[in-house]
Structure 1
Amino acid sequence: MRYADEGGLAAKGRQRREAVRLEAAGLFADGLGPPEVARRLRVSSKSAYQWHQAWTKDGAAALASRGASGRRCKLSARCQEKLAAYLEQGPAAHGWDEDQIIALDRLATLVRNRLKRLQYRPDVLDGFLAGTGLSLDLPP
């Protein structure tokens, strides 16, 4: 597994990258140096040296994931659950009966009209969806 594959902020990607860092911690504990860890885990030497420095100072806990970076989502957990339920209802339930597609612009409208009147740009909602594991029915 390469550390750089499928980067991004999705929870699944963060878990995968954390697993690589924690595997590195185990290799450091076994006495391997950063160059060998980088080779075995197929990561950059720079990453391995940074991980080793953090591991030396604070142990394996220093290599644990700190969660998603960036601004906190304005949608509460309850609103996120509601949004997931709205998506499962399909487009016709929300007035889009001319086709069976909920695209990002429609999702932005749905959030604005149904959830606290929050304003989200469609590209921001795309990142939000990636982080939650939800998906849209995009046109073919």
Structure 2
Amino acid sequence: MRYAQGGGLTAERRHFRERIRYEAGERFTRGERTAVIAKDLRVSERSVERWRRAWREGGMDALASAGPPKLPKLSDGQFAELEQELAVGPAVHGWEDQRWTLARIRVLIARKFRLDCSPAAVWRLLHRHGWSWQCPARRALERDEQAVGLWKKDVWPQAE
């Protein structure tokens, strides 16, 4: 199952899903049919079959949550250090322009924490901590900000 925002389940949702699996386990002991359990718990029959197989092999303990699928590679403290490094800008770290890319952040993580991770993992890490994707606006070199301001003030209101 895929989840919105590229993340996994929160701890609360994992606990909720675990309670559903435990309820299914109790119903397995009573001998209820898969289709009835799936309908009552509002899950797919395939999930119930998978849970039943796990229950047969390992009992109720097999229905427990395994935890988050992937733990973040950086701790919260390390991420705070990374944010401080990102705040000083790419130029301080040897890049010519002022754009942070996933590849550059990946290199920074490798240098600072000696961790190798993919660009996708860097994206998930940033996204998990509230960072968003941004594209710098490109402006014409000939742009005259004063003329644009006057146009917005005088001409645009008349066009409406």
Q: TM-score range by the shorter chain?
A: 0.5 to 0.7
Q: 1:124 aligns with which of 121, 140, 152?
A: 121
1:122 deviates by: 0.8
| 2:113 corresponds to 1:105 | no
Long gaps (5+) in structure 2:
136-160
Give the conservation status (yes or no) of the 8 Å contact 2:90–2:100.
no
Counterparts of 1:1-140 in structure 2, within 5 Å, are: 4=1, 6=3, 10-12=8-10, 15=14, 16-29=16-29, 32-69=32-69, 75=73, 79-89=74-84, 91-95=86-90, 103-116=101-114, 118-128=115-125, 133-139=128-134
1:62 deviates by: 0.8
Give the conservation status (yes or no) of the 8 Å contact 1:108–1:122.
yes
1:113 deviates by: 1.8
- Higher gyration radius (CA): 2
Highest RCO, 1 vs 2 (Cα 8 Å, sep ≥ 6): 1
Question: When the two structures are aligned, how many residues end up with a matched partner?
Answer: 128
1:124 deviates by: 2.7
Give the conservation status (yes or no) of the 8 Å contact 2:102–2:119.
yes
Letter in 2 for 1:46: R
Provide closer, same or farther for how the CA distance between residues 139 and 129 of structure 1 changes in structure 2, counting only shifts above 3 A.
closer
Superimposed CA distance per residue, residues 9-45 of structure 1 (whole angstroms, 9 cap, x where no aligned partner): 7352771543432332244356543211111222221
Distance 1:19 1:103 in 2: 41
Provide closer, same or farther for how the CA distance between residues 95 and 10 of structure 1 changes in structure 2, counting only shifts above 3 A.
same
| Percent of residue pairs bearing the same amino acid type | 27
1:87 deviates by: 4.4
Give the conservation status (yes or no) of the 8 Å contact 2:25–2:63.
yes
CA-based RMSD: 3.7
- Secondary structure of the 2:75 match is helix
